[in-house]
């Protein structure tokens, strides 16, 4: 049970931060409104994504939500088989599951995902994203690094 305390706590904190930040943005901003945080490279911009990453699969909210529920459930139940053993894997699984669930909640509650982190440089703009997306990308990135970095034995 102790092995699950930190991953569960991390997952709850990430999910709460994701939902709280989206609620704040939806109430503090008009749709499409943008406020520069670091002028020239980073802004908070309220957008609604009715698709998956980078706007793919527009309008497939229930399909994407259902797939998200299945993915989160499989990861939560079978993370050791899918990703491996260890405390780091449990923490990364918590990031993945909480990120997936954060966007699933939006899909079923609103019919779209609230995104607001906007990274750009001059005419180049990265698609807006949110806390849940950040948790998913961080977890996937670290998991990939763990797969390619040499393992230390002993």
Positions marked active-site: 115, 133
Helices assigned H by DSSP within the chain: 2-28, 61-82, 87-109, 131-148
C-alpha distances out from residue 86 to 21, 39, 77, 90, 91, Å: 30, 41, 15, 6, 9
39 closest CA partner among 116, 118, 115, 114: 118
CB of 119 closer than 8 Å to CB of 132: no
Sign of CA dihedral 146, 147, 149, 152: positive
Contacts of 91 (CB under 8 A, 6+ apart): 6, 7, 10
């Amino acid at each position: 049970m102790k092995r699950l305390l930190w991953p569960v706590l991390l997952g709850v904190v990430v999910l709460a931060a994701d939902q709280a930040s989206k609620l704040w943005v939806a109430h503090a901003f008009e749709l499409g409104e943008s406020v520069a945080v670091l002028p020239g490279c980073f802004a908070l911009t309220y957008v609604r994504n009715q698709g998956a990453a980078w706007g793919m699969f527009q309008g497939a909210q229930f399909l994407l939500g259902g797939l998200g529920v299945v993915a989160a459930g499989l990861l939560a139940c079978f993370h050791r088989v899918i990703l491996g053993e260890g405390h780091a894997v449990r923490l990364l699984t918590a990031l993945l599951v909480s990120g997936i669930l954060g966007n699933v909640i939006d899909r079923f509650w609103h019919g779209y995902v609230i995104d607001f982190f906007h990274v750009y440089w001059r005419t180049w703009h990265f698609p807006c994203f949110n806390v849940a997306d950040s948790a998913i990308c961080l977890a996937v990135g670290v998991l990939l690094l763990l797969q390619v970095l040499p393992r230390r034995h002993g």
